[in-house]
Amino acid sequence: MGSSPDEVTLMLIRWSSGEREALDQLIPLVYSELRQLASRALRRERRDHTLQPTALVHEAYLRLIDQRNVNWQNRAHFFAIASQAMRRIIVDHARRHNAIKRGGDNLKVELEAAMLVPGAKDVDVVRLDDALTELAAFDPQQSRIVELRFFGGLSIEETAEVVGISPATVKRDWSMAKAWLHRELQAGDAAIPE
């Protein structure tokens, strides 16, 4: 990610303490990185998906600036919250799409590229979100890692920085979470290709 961590952290702290102009200075520092996160998250969507990276960034940005009581810790914390916002937006978009179709043609995400479900071509985003919620109930760290890696598109090292653990632990938890999600998503849908 391109902006200086110290510079972004300083702007976030100033913004948290009520300096509105800090937000105006922060936007140019993080916009391109937010756009990269959005592009990575949407790269795995179906080809006819209507949500575009710019729209995802703008919607996530609106949710981020609406956060009143966040005590921004640092740049990594900001991008972790941005990843969460993008996940919610993508899942909400999928739910609206499914409601329009009355349950048909659920929004599919190509997970093979993300290596989330070994051998799977695509999976229902809403089911993935439900499975991540289940995973979070007994292993919040693994759920968070999947969220950051899959929806946020963060690397192993970036995820380690956000979560505050070693890259080796991220790799181990990422592997375990992928295996658990594969089993969960396979159990509920025999149509998921091997």
What pLDDT digit, counting tens, does each position of 104-147 carry? 444 444 443 444 444 444 557 778 888 888 999 999 999 989 88
Among left, alpha and beta (phi > 0; psi -120 to 50; other), residue 71 is beta
Count of C-beta atoms within a 10 Å radius of residue 17:
10
To 10 degrees, the CA torsion angle through 62, 75, 83, 185?
Answer: -160
- Cβ atoms of 57 and 89 within 8 Å: the answer is no
d(C-alpha 48, C-alpha 38), whole Å? 16
The pLDDT > 70 percentage for the chain reads 77
Q: What is the pLDDT of residue 122?
A: 57
Give the pLDDT confidence score for residue 139 in this predicted structure.
Answer: 93
For residue 129, give the amino acid letter. D
Of 14 and 186, the one with more pLDDT: 14
CA distances to 111, 118, 175 from 97, rounded to whole Å, are: 19, 26, 31
Q: What is the pLDDT of residue 123?
A: 58
pLDDT at position 74: 81
Give the pLDDT mean for 16-21.
82
* Residue range 67-84, pLDDT digits in tens: 767 778 788 888 888 888
Answer whether 16's CB lies under 8 Å from 71's CB: yes
